[in-house]
């Protein structure tokens, strides 16, 4: 009987030991899982750090202390986010639409990012053989870079031939191409890469709207897939669905000329540039894209040119909510390549249309950060404007029958 009792006690102790060891192992495993999850979360957070961080205690640190724009925006945001305010706007209706070229991103380096990239592709990229028509448009863009005079129809022509110039390239390779071009030096400046030509004060303003519950969308004339390659570094919280640029076709790699209604996606397919322009996202096309792809009228519009006028008017007219349209004026000729005549015209347009004019000269402490400086000694040349490198063509414009040797590109 005594032996039986001892056997039972021994078995019980063994069971308890097993249970304790098991609990310890489970706790260790759980701790390991928790540590791994925390490490993954920390890594993701570190990877998502924006190129320009906003100080929550001073969200407009790069604006002057007496900036009328900051005062206006802060008062507006306070009134539309306060549930007790008669101007309150529900979070789901706080839509802000933001232009990119000239509003978020410099457009005078020396011209629009995707215009420069097109010229680089057509005239300087030795891996690509352009058509005569593509080369002719590249020439016209170079004239604009020199003179700042825009001929009628060039905007549409560029968009058409940009799509053609990258036809068949995978979306991933196109994104890589954009990123690599963005790593080149920005012409007309020192200490600035093309990809970093973001107006730092505007980055702060957009982050402020986002932090106060606004759904922020980029609505720009720049190609949509170009934007999607350049935006995440500065706005890691903005996903691709919030980027609305000009649209070109995208197809299956095996689709060739077959209609999408007849072709069936295969296991070997990948997405490639289709080579055709669908819509250029400027002027009256902006409200159309906003209405069809966002489905709500914005309450905030940020722009800088006539290409954004329709979006601004769409935002502030016949809106059931209190609304706001800001327009940047390129009035600084010391820190950027401002154009005072255009700035004066924009101020007048703001007065006539009920938009708010933003003075870059008077309201911004910086443009592209302290390292970037305007290069007033810069003189236009095709090679400098389009970053000719070891892969540059020996003779530019050859497809157009012009013999212009570029010794500096050799």
Does residue 5 sit within a domain?
A: no
> CB–CB of 371/51 below 8 Å?
no
- Range of the structural domain that residue 315 is part of: 68-409
**What would the pLDDT profile of 339-362 be if each residue is shown by its tens digit?**
999 999 999 999 999 999 999 999
Beta strand ranges found along 163-289 (DSSP E): 189-190, 215-223, 243-252, 271-279
Does residue 10 sit within a domain?
A: no
Q: Domains in the chain: how many in total?
A: 1
Distance CA 161, CA 139 (A): 13
For residue 401, the model assigns a pLDDT of 43
Quote the pTM value: 0.84
> CB–CB of 110/188 below 8 Å?
yes
Does residue 175 sit within a domain?
A: yes
Does residue 56 sit within a domain?
A: no
φ, ψ for residue 63, nearest 5 deg: -105, 155
Distance CA 155, CA 217 (A): 22
For residue 245, the domain's CATH number is 3.40.50.1000
φ, ψ for residue 251, nearest 5 deg: -135, 170
For residue 402, the model assigns a pLDDT of 41
Sites in the chain below the pLDDT cut of 70: 1-48, 388-410
Does residue 392 sit within a domain?
A: yes
For residue 17, the model assigns a pLDDT of 42
Q: Name the residue among 286, 307, 303, 410 with its Cα closest to residue 358.
A: 303
Which long-range contacts (C-beta less than 8 Å, at least 24 apart) are formed by 47-52? 48/236, 48/237, 49/236, 50/203, 50/207, 50/233, 50/234, 50/235, 50/236, 51/196, 51/198, 51/233, 51/234, 52/198, 52/200, 52/203, 52/204, 52/234, 52/369
Which secondary-structure segment (H or E) carries 98? strand 95-98
Distance CA 303, CA 358 (A): 10
For residue 400, the model assigns a pLDDT of 38
Does residue 401 sit within a domain?
A: yes
**What would the pLDDT profile of 304-314 be if each residue is shown by its tens digit?**
999 999 999 99
């Amino acid at each position: 009987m005594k032996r039986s009792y001892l056997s039972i006690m021994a078995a019980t102790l063994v069971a308890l030991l097993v249970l304790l060891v098991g609990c310890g192992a489970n706790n260790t495993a759980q701790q390991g899982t928790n540590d791994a999850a925390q490490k993954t979360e920390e890594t993701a957070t570190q990877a998502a750090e924006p190129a320009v961080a906003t100080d929550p205690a001073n969200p407009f640190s790069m604006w002057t202390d007496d900036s009328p724009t900051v005062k206006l925006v802060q008062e507006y945001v306070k009134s539309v986010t306060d549930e007790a305010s008669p101007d309150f706007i529900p979070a789901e209706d706080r839509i802000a639409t933001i232009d990119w070229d000239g509003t978020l991103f410099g457009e005078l380096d020396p011209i629009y990012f995707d215009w420069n990239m097109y010229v680089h592709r057509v005239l300087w990229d030795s891996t690509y053989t352009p058509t005569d028509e593509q080369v002719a448009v590249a020439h016209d863009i170079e004239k604009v870079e020199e003179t700042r005079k825009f001929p009628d129809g060039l905007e549409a022509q560029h968009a058409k031939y940009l799509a053609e110039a990258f036809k068949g390239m995978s979306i991933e390779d196109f994104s890589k191409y954009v990123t690599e071009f963005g790593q080149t030096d920005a012409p007309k400046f020192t200490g600035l890469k093309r990809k970093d030509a973001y107006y730092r004060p505007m980055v702060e303003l957009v982050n402020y709207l986002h932090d106060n519950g606004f759904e922020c969308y980029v609505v720009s004339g720049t190609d949509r897939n170009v934007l999607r390659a350049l935006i995440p570094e500065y706005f890691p919280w903005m996903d691709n669905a919030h980027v609305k640029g000009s649209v070109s076709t995208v197809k299956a790699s095996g689709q060739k000329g077959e209609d999408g209604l007849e072709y069936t996606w295969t296991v070997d397919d990948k997405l490639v540039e289709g080579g055709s322009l669908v819509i250029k996202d400027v002027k009256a096309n902006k409200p159309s894209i906003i209405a069809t792809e966002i489905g709500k009228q914005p309450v905030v519009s940020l722009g800088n040119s006539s290409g954004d006028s329709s979006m601004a008017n769409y935002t502030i007219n016949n809106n059931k909510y209190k609304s706001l349209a800001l327009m940047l004026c390129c009035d600084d000729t010391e820190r950027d390549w401002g154009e005072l005549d255009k700035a004066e015209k924009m101020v007048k347009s703001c007065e006539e249309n009920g938009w708010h004019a933003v003075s870059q000269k008077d309201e911004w402490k910086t443009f592209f950060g302290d390292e970037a400086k305007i290069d007033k000694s810069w003189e236009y040349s095709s090679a400098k404007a389009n970053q000719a490198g070891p892969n540059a063509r020996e003779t530019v414009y050859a497809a157009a029958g012009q013999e212009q040797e570029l010794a500096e590109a050799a």
